[in-house]
């Protein structure tokens, strides 16, 4: 089973964290959040002024360079999420869930699910 928090980043601030680091991460559905972001979000949720300010679009006041600097972080978070989906499919395959059922769950054919997620030697999708 390969679903771990090692080598992950916070999906909100892109700080690397997880086991073996000083940055704790809590995750769900492929997203990870660090302790600092949890604390900041908690404080914001309990402060009406901060909550109102958080509804503004921060990129409106950002320079082009600042917006560009965030793009690799967004891509890293998206790649992390895709990797988590692959790990989750690996988990399902280890549990002998068929490619047909995985495809049905995703609203695609068995073949499409296999083409997107199969990567283990011997998991050719021919039998399940």
Please check whether residue 11 is in contact with residue 80, taking contact to mean a CB–CB distance below 8 angstroms.
yes
Nearest to 2 by CA among 62, 71, 88, 122: 88
**Nearest distance, CB of residue 25 and Zn ion, angstroms:** 8
Task: Determine the residue with CB nearest Zn ion.
Answer: 10
Q: Out of 18, 25, 32, 37, which residue is the one contacting Zn ion (CB under 5 A)?
A: 37
Question: Which residue, 10 or 89, has its beta carbon nearer to Zn ion?
Answer: 10
Q: Interface with Zn ion includes 10 (CB under 5 A)? A: yes
DSSP 3-state helix, strand, coil percentages of the chain (rounded to 5)? 55, 10, 35
Instruction: Give the angle 39-7-29 at the CA atoms, nearest 5°.
Output: 60
**Nearest distance, CB of residue 76 and Zn ion, angstroms:** 12
Question: Which residue, 77 or 113, has its beta carbon nearer to Zn ion?
Answer: 77
Q: Which stretch binds Zn ion (CB under 5 A): 37-45, 57-65, 80-88, 110-118?
A: 37-45
Adjacent-strand bridge partners of 9: 16
Q: Interface with Zn ion includes 25 (CB under 5 A)? A: no
């Amino acid at each position: 089973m390969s679903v771990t928090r090692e080598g992950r980043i916070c999906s909100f601030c892109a700080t690397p964290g997880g086991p073996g680091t000083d940055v704790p991460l809590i995750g769900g559905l492929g997203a990870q959040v660090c302790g600092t972001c949890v604390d900041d979000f908690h404080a914001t949720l309990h402060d009406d002024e901060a909550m109102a300010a958080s509804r503004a679009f921060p990129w409106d006041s950002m320079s082009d360079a600042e917006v560009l600097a965030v793009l690799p972080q967004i891509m890293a978070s998206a790649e992390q999420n895709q990797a988590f989906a692959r790990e989750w499919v690996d988990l399902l395959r280890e549990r002998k869930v068929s490619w047909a059922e995985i495809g049905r769950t995703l609203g695609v054919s068995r073949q499409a699910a296999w083409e997107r997620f199969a990567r283990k030697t011997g998991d050719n999708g021919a039998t399940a």
